[in-house]
Amino acid sequence: MAACSAPDSEGFHAAFEALFDRYRERTYAIAFRVVGNANDALDVVQESFALLFRKIGSFRGDSLFSTWLFRIVTNCSIDYRRRNKPSRAPALLADTPHALDLADDAPGPRDAAAVQEVGDQVQEAISQLSPKLRAILALRYLESMSYDELAATLDISLGTVKSRLARAHVALEHTVRTRYPHLEVCRELSDAEASRAGAAPDRDGPMGGVG
């Protein structure tokens, strides 16, 4: 970071490349979940790091560098999604990072195909949400961010984090129930949220009391 904060220094380019190598997969995963397409996600990553290149001298260390970077990536992803109406088919599981690992762990071709089909259906369901809701789900479950970390990354209040995450769960649940009623994705998310909160899932609420 010291080298990156001085664009005219001799070690700037090597340091910036090191940052890119360290965070490119994580930033791509976030961008992918928001824009819903592998090629578009690559464009977002390129745009995000170009913006980072221009603004890195202004980073003052008031937050973690990763928090600052993920805020840039999230905002670029949301802006990209709004500027470019989705014209391509929703991305498939094979386009996502570590997709091959999922297939390799499966006992056989039939199970691998089933995993791919479920993954495709989940991604398509997520692609129906608004960019902001997709972003908060990506940060929550890809980066395992706490509510406080989400608030810092998205630059919103803790209350807004909780309400937005709850809205994302409800919207995703509605989409899954409508299009893919056999999936249990939303219930698993609800149980995971309750587990993180140290309480048993509330089976009576629409999303297990999340938010």
The four Cα atoms 186, 83, 160, 36 give a dihedral, to 10 degrees, of: 20
Residue 203 is assigned to a structural domain of this protein: no
The answer to which of 48-62, 65-79, 84-98, 170-184 has the lowest mean pLDDT is: 84-98
Q: Let me know if residue 94 belongs to a domain.
A: yes
**pLDDT tens digit sequence for 149-162:** 999 999 999 999 99
Q: Which of 34, 32, 43 is nearest to 132 (CA)?
A: 34
Q: Is residue 118 part of a domain?
A: yes
Residue 200 has pLDDT above 50, yes or no: no
Chain centroid, CA 100 distance in Å:
19
Q: How many domains does the chain have?
A: 1
The pLDDT of residue 174:
87
d(CA 180, CA 52): 39
* Residue 210 falls inside a structural domain: no
Q: Classify 61 in phi/psi space as left (phi over 0), alpha (psi -120 to 50) or beta.
A: left
pLDDT (0 to 100) of residue 80: 93
Q: For the chain, what is the largest distance between any 2 Cα atoms, rounded to a whole number of angstroms?
A: 61
- Checking if the pLDDT of 176 tops 70, the result is yes
What CATH number corresponds to the domain at position 101? Answer: 1.10.10.10
Burial 131-160 (b: 16+ CB within 10 A, else e): bbbbbbbbbbeebebebebbbbbbeeeeee
| pLDDT score for 89 | 41
Pair 137, 171: CB distance under 8 Å: no
Q: 19 is in which domain, residue-wise? A: 12-197
- For residue 112, tell me if it sits in a domain: yes
Residue 104 lies in a domain: yes
Mean pLDDT of 89-110: 42
pTM to 2 decimals?
Answer: 0.69
pLDDT for the residue numbered 100 = 30
Least confident of 34-38, 58-62, 81-85: 58-62
